[in-house]
Structure 1
Amino acid sequence: MLRTVRDQVRKHPGLVPQFFFICLGMSGAFLYLFRLARGPHVTWRKSSNPEPWNDLSPTYQYKFVAINTDYKNLKKDGPDF
């Protein structure tokens, strides 16, 4: 397969940026999925901590981008479990 790609790039050098941006997009998607898999709301071992989101403080910024929310001034509304 790599030989075919190499032959296509030699015949059509304009494909180099396309291959570059496709690889860049695929690596960015993989890194974002890896980030989502390690989030505070994901449980991989249910025996050690079945509900890890209960351990988070109200000031923990769990969103990737928080435009209108100031997490430093938030207070916990519910009871401790």
Structure 2
Amino acid sequence: MFRLLSNQARRHPGLIPLFGFIGLGLGSAALYLVRLAVFDPSVSWDRKNNPEPWNKLSPTHQSKFLAVSTDYKSLKKDRPDF
């Protein structure tokens, strides 16, 4: 596979930026999926010790990657503690 891509890049040098941007996009998508799998509060990897990790979050916890207009510091807690 790599040999085919290198041969194409040698014959058509204009494809080199395309290969670079596709590689960058695939790499960033893979890193985002890893981030979601590790740090998302709705994903539970340890069901024995922590079956519901979302109950231990504070109301000011920001779970979104980018919050544009939400101020999490001023939110009030609207759920009971278990």
So what's the TM-score if we normalise by structure 2? 0.92
Deviation at 1:67, TM superposition (A): 1.8
Give matches, 1:56-67, under 5 Å: 56-67=57-68
Report the equivalent of 1:21: 21
Residue correspondences, number: 81
CA RMSD, Structure 1 to Structure 2 (Å): 0.9
Equivalent in the alignment of 2:69:
68
Unpaired runs of 5+ residues, structure 2, are: none
Counting only pairs closer than 5 Å after superposition, residues 13-52 of structure 1 correspond to structure 2 as: 13-38=13-38, 39-52=40-53
Which 5+ residue runs of structure 1 have no aligned equivalent?
Answer: none
Give the % identical residues: 60
Aligned with 2:6: secondary structure?
Answer: helix
Deviation string, structure 1 residues 8-44 (Cα, Å, up to 9, x no partner): 1111001100100000000010011011111122101
Q: Distance in 2 between matches of 1:33 and 1:41?
A: 14
Query: Could you tell me which amino acid in structure 1 is paired with residue 80 of structure 2?
Result: P
